[in-house]
Amino acid sequence: MRYLITGAKGQLATEFIKHFQQQSVEYFAFSKEELDITNFDTVYKTLKEIKPDVVINCAAYNLVDNAEKEPEKAYSINAVGPYNLALASKEIKAKFIHYSTDYVFDGTKEGLYTEEDTPNPLNEYGKSKLLGENLAKINENSLIFRVSWIYGEGKQNFLYKLLSWAKDNEVLKVAINEFSVPTSTSFIVDKTLKAINKELRGLYHLVPNGYASRYEWAKLILKNYGIKKIIIPVSKETFNLVAKRPSFSVLDSDKIQKGLNEVFEEWDEIFIRWCRTQ
């Protein structure tokens, strides 16, 4: 099996690359400088030359607040890019893997969000990701995963930001009214490859079981890193962020668990084990 990965410098691609190197799997990884996914001719030429069996799109514009100021860039990377990759993958008969977000939902549902629920994104980032999902379906052999609160080896995540804040502040204010599912890159890589092997296709929610508020996760982060700081729970509205965020965007992963014939662990069990490996 030959893989092609986009967004090579991001935290999810980094985890795929590490896994493939350990398993001696043939792969080709491209950063945004090396492969412009918004240019179809470039994408098609690259895929035609390499002829991968599976294309994994880890490229994304995930600066949620900035997307409100530069939506064209967000749509170009999160929607046009996936469309180009899906179409080129279809042309060479390759499977296409794409990742979306819990931010396609508005957070007003009383309960967990399933794949059957109607999306209603609150911000331009969520809208661009939803369009990317829909465009990726041009390849009937696409596998689209909605994920949330990703953490791994990288700086563009809540874990890194919280640890950075803790270095300079004795008191940390963290949102108590924003809920989702912290999800490790290693979890995503493991389940994605299992889904590929089982030849699954379509849309799935890919998160561990359980959920947490930003505040609850922050407390667990500092505890596992042995950092003693005062954490004050506050409303997310306190931060006056440019983009609106859903309050409760917890994804239900029952469909993918059934598809893989396994029961996922709770998010905190995975996180605590991950911390021990750092």
Does the structure show a pLDDT above 90 at 270?
Answer: yes
Summarised one tens digit per residue, pLDDT across range 201-251 is: 999 999 999 999 999 999 999 999 999 999 999 999 999 899 999 999 999
What is the Cα–Cα distance from 212 to 151, expressed in whole angstroms? 14
| Distances 75 to 21, 33, 72, 146, 208 between C-alpha atoms, Å | 32, 18, 5, 17, 28
Contact in structure between 30 and 9 (CB atoms under 8 Å): no
Q: What is the average pLDDT across 52-57?
A: 98
125 is catalytic: yes
Contact in structure between 88 and 142 (CB atoms under 8 Å): no
Q: What is the pLDDT of residue 15?
A: 96
Entry pTM: 0.96
Summarised one tens digit per residue, pLDDT across range 164-184 is: 999 999 999 999 999 999 999
Q: What is the pLDDT of residue 154?
A: 81
Domains and CATH numbers, the chain: 2-157+181-209+250-265 (3.40.50.720)
Chain position carrying tokens 């947490």: 212
Summarised one tens digit per residue, pLDDT across range 100-146 is: 999 999 999 999 999 999 999 999 999 999 999 999 999 999 999 99
Summarised one tens digit per residue, pLDDT across range 135-150 is: 999 999 999 999 999 9
Out of 125, 151, 204, 211, pick the active-site residue: 125
